[in-house]
Amino acid sequence: MAEEIAPREVYGKTLVELGRENPDIVVLDADLFPSTMTRYFKDAFPERFLEVGIAEQNMVGIACGLAANGKIPFASTFAVFGTSRCFDQIRVSVAQAKLNVKIVVTHSGLTVGEDGASHQALEDLALICSLPGFTVIVPADAVETAQAIRAVAAHKGPCYVRLVRGKLPVILDDSYRFEIGKAYTLRKGKDATIMAIGTMVAPALEATSMLANEGIDCRVLNMSTLKPIDEAAIIKAAQETGAIVTAEEHQEHGGLASTVSRVTAKHHPVPMVFVAVKDKFGMSGKPAELLEKYGLTAKDIAEAVKETLKRKV
């Protein structure tokens, strides 16, 4: 069984490493530093940590001021608060001003669990992807999280990184190298392609094992950079496998499914099925139970692949 590590834990520790390397790194949080794990940075560099309280709009505004003065601010809270509560500030002060602000959120998707619908961000990617100039990243595991945080720290411009509450299986090894805007082939295959992000990458790999037992050979792409998405990898998969399934812990509208569909429709249309939340809010429950209820399991991905194959030319 693969080791499981919470990406938010890795985020906090990576911030400390960056803080030691670069005095311009500053961190802000909105009353949730014990949960977002920015507490590690707070303990290591209290003079470069700002706790703004339950005031997400202010947090974004302060981050913009710091960025305008040459600092590299990382602003963190839960995904639902870091997008919905301060979208206007992100749109006007970060995106329109093209400021070097890094928004890194935790507790995204249904796997927030028992906290229920009010805390389960299922539309955050749609909101942020709608903003010109934003780089949007959804890491698949702890290894990718560490590298993605370093990448956005070095990248000039607005960035949004979406992390989850719980632990994820470690699926990448030390040879992996994250690159903004590049998909990563986790498994080669010729019959269909599964494109997944975040929590859904591990189930996508599990689904391929199920399908292999039925003689179906699936490619798996980790699409961790949602924006700018790797159009070349999508077009190649469409051309070579002729069928695509997307998998995300997000609404069907506005995230991975919408982005991949736009690319294929423009360049190489193929049958597609979307494993995602179908225009519903979440509810309280254990993470595994919620993923099953909303159709976000390896079995659901495998069934989606078989559905696309029925329509494949």
The residue type at 224: S
The three-point CA angle 199-202-208 to 5° equals 135
The maximal CA–CA distance of the chain, rounded, in angstroms, is 61
Structure tokens at 14: 């990576």
Distances (CA, A) of 231 to 73, 103, 127, 281: 30, 24, 21, 30
5 DSSP β-pair partners? 168
Closest Cα to residue 280, out of 138, 120, 161, 113? 120
CA distance 92 to 220: 37
Q: For tokens 């608060």, name the residue.
A: 81
Q: Which position among 3, 56, 206, 240 bears the catalytic label? A: 56
CA distance 261 to 274: 10
CB 118 within 8 A of CB 175: no
Structure tokens at 41: 């940075």
CA distance 201 to 222: 6
The three-point CA angle 143-283-286 to 5° equals 55
104 DSSP β-pair partners? 76, 161
Beta strand 135-137 pairing with 225-227: antiparallel
* 56 belongs to the catalytic site: yes
Residues noted as catalytic: 56
